[in-house]
Structure 1
C-alpha cells in the first residue's frame, strides 16, 4: 500500500509501499500523482533502479522533455556529474528552464554517487510564497508580468568552461514575458513565478521600482518555512513539480557527485491553458 509521510508541514513527503523496479498499475500512478500534487516533491528511498526503469517510471507522469542543451539523439537521461559545482547555476533558487516557451512540468532526479559529505538539495513551495504576501502586494503581482532570459545563466555556464555559443543560444531562446503569478493547471492554485536564474525585470516598472520590488519577490522564496531539505543517499529518487516549486542544489562539496535526471512535460490534459 502506497503511503506518504510528510517531511515538513508545507512541502515534501517520503513515499513507501512502491517498488520502482516494477511497472505501476493505473491506480498506483493515480495515487502517486495525487500525492505529488499535494506534497509538491516526493522522495523515494532505497530504489536501486537502472536508467531504463527510471525512464519508464517518469513516463507515467508526462512526456519526455528534451533538455535544452542536449544534442538531438542524446540519451533522455541527463547525467549531472560534478566535483566543482559552485557557480554552475544549480546553487541559486530557480524553476527549471522558465526561458522556454513551455517550461517542463517536473523532474525526477536519482542519486547514483555522493561525496563523503554535502550535496543536499532544497525545494521551496511557491504557492506559499504567493499566499504569504500581503493582500495589496498579491493584487499588484496578479497584474504584473516579467521578462525571463537565458543570458545570465548561459554566461555562467560559459565562464565555467562549457562550450556554448552565446549568440546561438540567445537566438534559439529569445527573452519571454510571463505572468509574475502562475495559476497551476491541475490544482488551480496561484504560485509566485519569478526566479533568480532567469527573471530579469518586471514589465512596465521603472528601473528604480524594479530594483526595489524584483529582489524582494525573488528573495521571498528563501524563507525556511517554505522549504524542505533532502540529504541524499544512493538509491534515493526525488520527483518535483516544477510549476509549484523552486529548488537549490547546495554547492558544498569537492568530491564526485553523480545524479541522473529525467525531465517531463505535461500530458495535454494537464497542460497550461495558454
Structure 2
C-alpha cells in the first residue's frame, strides 16, 4: 500500500453511506450541506519514490486527440478543453497521455462527465498516492477520506464572516504545497452551481517564469522558500474541526522543474508560501510580494473557466496556480457551489539549472518539426 494512503475504517456514526453507491450531487440537492469532519487521525506522511505516468505517454497524444470529438486550446499559454471523452472510460494509455497533456498545458477541461466518486478515486490513484486533506470536509461514507468536499452556500453568514476582509486574489495557491511531496495533479468535479458566477482561474507557472527578465530569472533560480500549513492549522483552531494530520512547513525551490516536460516553473504563491530562506523578513517580503503580484496580474497567462454542471478540471499543481472566484457570495441570490476534489501527490519539488524554460522547449520542438496540434502548445 502506498505510504500516503491509510487503511482506516471509520468507526463513527457520521459515515453512513456506501462508497459504491455514493452520489454526492444527489446528496447535496436532497440534504443540503452534508460534509463531515470525523475525528480520524493519520500519521505523518512518509517520503516515497514517485513515478510519473507522463513518462509512459505517447508524445503525439494520439489516444486522446484521435478519439475526441473536439480539442481546442482555451488560451495560447494555458488551458485545453476536450469534448467526447469520458474520464471513467479511459484506457491505461489515455491516462498516461492525459498526464503529459496536463503537464504541458497546465489544466485540461472536460464537460458532461459521468464519473462517480469511487471511479474518481480509482482514476486519481493512477497518478500517485492520494492526499487526505488535513482539515476539509469529507463525504459521510466509509473509504471516502481521500475525497475533499467543495460546498459553499452563497449566503452562508458564517462563511462570509470568516473570509471578510480577504481579497479574492489572496486565494491563489497550488494545492497543499506545504507538504514534503505536494500534489502533482488535481481532479475537481463541479456538479452544482449558483445561478451565475463561481468561475475558477488558473495561471501558468511556466509562463510566469518566462515573463521574468533574464536578470530576475537568474536571481530567483536556486532560491528556496518556506511553504506553511498554517492556514489549515488556523482553520482547525478557528472552527474546532479536527486536524487529521499535522499540516507541516517545508522548504521548496522558488523555481522548480517538471519531471516530465523538463520545463522550469515559478513555484511561490500567496496562500502557502511564507518566506525566502536566507533573506531578512524585509527582503523576503519585498521579493515575494513582487512575485505574487506578477502571478496575480498576469492576465495574459491565465485562463478563466466557466463551469457547467458535471464539468471536470484536471490540472498540474506543480506548474499552475489557481483561485476560485467568490463573485456569487452574499448577493442574496442563493444557490450552492458544490463538487469534490481528488488529489494525487507527486515528487518532492526540485530545481535543475540545466533545465529549459517552456518557451525554449517549444521553440526547439518547432525547429525539430513538431506538429503543433491542439493541446500540445
Q: Does the pair score TM above 0.5? A: yes
Structure 1: give runs of 5+ residues left out of the alignment.
Answer: none
Going from structure 1 to structure 2, the CA distance change for 1:74 and 1:130 (only over 3 Å counts) comes to same
Q: After superposition, where does 1:58-77 map in structure 2 within 5 Å?
A: 58-69=124-135, 74-77=144-147
Check if 1:261 corresponds to 2:341.
Answer: yes
After TM superposition, the structure 1 stretch with the greater mean CA deviation from structure 2, 97-106 or 69-78, is: 69-78
Going from structure 1 to structure 2, the CA distance change for 1:12 and 1:209 (only over 3 Å counts) comes to same
1:191 aligns with one of 261, 265, 271: 265
Aligned to 1:103: 182
Secondary structure at the aligned position of 2:178 is classed as: coil
Q: After superposition, where does 1:23-42 map in structure 2 within 5 Å?
A: 24-42=90-108
RMSD: 2.6
Going from structure 1 to structure 2, the CA distance change for 1:69 and 1:213 (only over 3 Å counts) comes to same
Check if 1:56 corresponds to 2:122.
Answer: yes
After TM superposition, the structure 1 stretch with the greater mean CA deviation from structure 2, 198-207 or 51-60, is: 51-60
C-alpha distance in 2 between matches for 1:62 and 1:5: 27
C-alpha distance in 2 between matches for 1:211 and 1:51: 41
Aligned to 1:6: 73
User: Which structure has greater strand proportion?
Assistant: 1
Secondary structure at the aligned position of 2:269 is classed as: coil
Structure 2: give runs of 5+ residues left out of the alignment.
Answer: 1-66, 330-334, 351-377
Aligned to 2:214: 135
Report the Cα offset of residue 140 of structure 1: 1.0
Given that 2:104 and 2:261 are in contact with CA atoms closer than 8 Å, whether structure 1 keeps it comes out as no
C-alpha distance in 2 between matches for 1:21 and 1:104: 21
C-alpha distance in 1 between matches for 2:197 and 2:302: 18
CA deviations on 1:67-126 (whole Å, 9 max, x unpaired) are 233689553222111114653998611011111111011110001211111111110000
Going from structure 1 to structure 2, the CA distance change for 1:201 and 1:75 (only over 3 Å counts) comes to closer
Task: Give the TM-score normalised by structure 1.
Answer: 0.86
Aligned to 1:15: 82
Report the Cα offset of residue 25 of structure 1: 1.9
What is the count of residue pairs matched by the alignment?
A: 264
Check if 1:78 corresponds to 2:148.
Answer: yes
